[in-house]
Structure 1
Amino acid sequence: MKPSGDAVHSSRFGRLRRVISRSPVGRGWRRSSDLELWSLALGFAALGLLTLVPLLITVAAADPERGWGFAEWLGEGLGVSIASRAEVGQLFTRPAEVLRTTTAFGIATLAVFGLSFGAAVQGGYEKIWGLPPARWRARWRHVVWLGVLTGYLLLSGTATLRREPLGGGAVASLSALLFLWWSQRLLLGGRIRWRALFPGAVATVIGLLGLRIFSGLVFSPLIASSAVSYGPIGTVLVIQSWLVGVGVVVFGGAMVGRLLHEELPRMKHALNQRRGDRRDRGRG
């Protein structure tokens, strides 16, 4: 008896599903599910809103002559239109007013959330690489990372990068690559080699560039419509959604980097084996 059409279709679908499951894409999907990538991104966005927003406002106010206001910096990072940047600008204090209203309690709160943010990023990297949590003595790494992050954001907000869009874009991408590469090395306590961490830094930078393009297409009109429908809180929700996307890119890029680090030697070995088999056939 001949198999029915449904049975043949089911068999082909099953083979295709097994092939995809055994492929690097399938292994990456299972790994992202095991790591709960979405939960990591949500935690990143929550702490990022409590840390990055006040930090960027303070950093912009520290250099009022050359630094951008936080609204301009965020609008540039989002890649949104001028009208949407105006909606973002209504949410934040002018840079000149920040230093006058900053209190010691605000700085202390920012430091606490900043260290918690560093711990969250470190925990995500440790899960991605399957490492045990670092000891409490390694908490100094969060302080160093937060300080370098502040300097990096200050550098990113200078007028020098703003006046040179082409050269500034290349410098911004290179500086982001170096910062992300170093961040993984520092927060993981040197337990992973530099060479193994480099693909993750590259994947994260590419993902951030893609997120910027996506933001210009989706978040720009969404900010305008949300501001009309919900007022300022609508803009905050869009920014929070963008931070979730940044979290997905940061941890997803590191996961893709580990996957590439593991899969490239396998692919190279398989390719060399196929070449060897062809040579043997040719000799035969």
Structure 2
Amino acid sequence: MVFPAWLERLRGRVEQHFPVVSELTARLLSANLLDAATRLAAQAFLASVPLLFAFAAFAPLAVRNQLLESLRAMFGLTGQANKELSQVLESSPDNSLNETSGTIGLVVTLLSATSFSRAMARVCERAWRLPRAGTRIAAWRWIVWLPVLVLVVLLQGPIRNGFGAGLWLGVPLLFLVSTGVWLWTQHLLLAGRVSWPPLLPGAVLAAAATSALALTASLYMPTALDRALHEYGSLGLVLTLLSWLIVVCAAVTFAVTIGAVLAEAPPLDRFLNRRP
């Protein structure tokens, strides 16, 4: 047939002039990236929801207010969704039911936290085609990564606002912070098996993707969350947040994988040394 032959010739010319396209296509198709992103999103959700209740029960009021401000900034929360979140984080920590749910949430968080970290580590290892790191080497890295991630989420509100200066500073600051976070995340969870410079393309791509999603979430999520709450109740809220997490995790998974391919292909391979 004419069309497949034409398409095959076009593919051959593209691969001849840009060999990285062939490697990139093969890597994206062979790594089951959507499955990995879905698993990562599920683990993120299982870690974040109980952590929210633990914050509500045990964190000081100033910390809870800061988290509430950051979550409002991240999702542009208004209406019923904002009321639901406020009820969780602004409830009195002296309430016995709140303390019980917070304790349960803390236990569940501790049990699920390393699963989230391990899923993220596996995404990075698949991107660089590395075997799993030994538990003795990687275990402390799984534990360290999550609190730092929580701290970054906690500071989202001030960062987006440029610490009071406005979006003109907040947007580039958000991108720079995100780049640093994803650069450090890859190096940490890969157990130092890849040096810093080759990790930069993936970090920049992940930062660009997550920053864009973060800035557009405030336009889409408020309406989506309120509609889901109105039509389906709490289940609708869960499904909406999980869908958003899948999109974010898919963006990160693809960005890290594409970054690894670009770092190993011309012309970047001449400037980046893969060995630590």
On whether the aligned pair clears a TM of 0.5, the verdict is yes
In structure 2, relative to structure 1, the CA distance for the partners of 1:91 and 1:155 (3 Å cut) is closer
Match of 1:277 in 2: none
SS at the partner of 2:131? coil
In structure 2, C-alpha distance between the alignment counterparts of 1:235 and 1:225, rounded to whole Å: 9
The alignment yields a C-alpha RMSD, in angstroms, of 3.1
Larger Rg, first or second structure (1 or 2): 1
Unpaired runs of 5+ residues, structure 2, are: 272-276
In structure 2, relative to structure 1, the CA distance for the partners of 1:242 and 1:92 (3 Å cut) is farther
**Are the equivalent residues in 1 in contact too, given 2:73–2:157 (CA < 8 A)?**
no
Q: Give the alignment's TM-score, normalised by structure 1.
A: 0.77
In structure 2, C-alpha distance between the alignment counterparts of 1:235 and 1:104, rounded to whole Å: 23
CA deviations on 1:133-192 (whole Å, 9 max, x unpaired) are 011102111111122223323333559756443333433332222111111111101000
Identity across the alignment (%): 27
Alignment of 1:99-248 (within 5 A): 99-100=93-94, 101-102=98-99, 103-138=102-137, 139-157=139-157, 163-166=164-167, 167-216=169-218, 218-248=220-250
In structure 2, C-alpha distance between the alignment counterparts of 1:19 and 1:123, rounded to whole Å: 34
Q: CA deviation at 1:221?
A: 3.9
In structure 2, C-alpha distance between the alignment counterparts of 1:141 and 1:267, rounded to whole Å: 28
Q: Does 1:55 align with 2:51?
A: yes
Q: CA deviation at 1:213?
A: 4.9
In structure 2, C-alpha distance between the alignment counterparts of 1:213 and 1:11, rounded to whole Å: 43
**Are the equivalent residues in 2 in contact too, given 1:68–1:157 (CA < 8 A)?**
no
In structure 2, relative to structure 1, the CA distance for the partners of 1:133 and 1:228 (3 Å cut) is same
Q: Give the alignment's TM-score, normalised by structure 2.
A: 0.79
In structure 2, relative to structure 1, the CA distance for the partners of 1:56 and 1:29 (3 Å cut) is farther
| Residue type of the alignment partner of 1:130 | R
Q: How many aligned residue pairs are there?
A: 260
Per mean C-alpha deviation after superposition, the further-off stretch among 168-177 and 214-223 is: 214-223
In structure 2, relative to structure 1, the CA distance for the partners of 1:89 and 1:206 (3 Å cut) is farther
Q: Does 1:65 align with 2:62?
A: yes
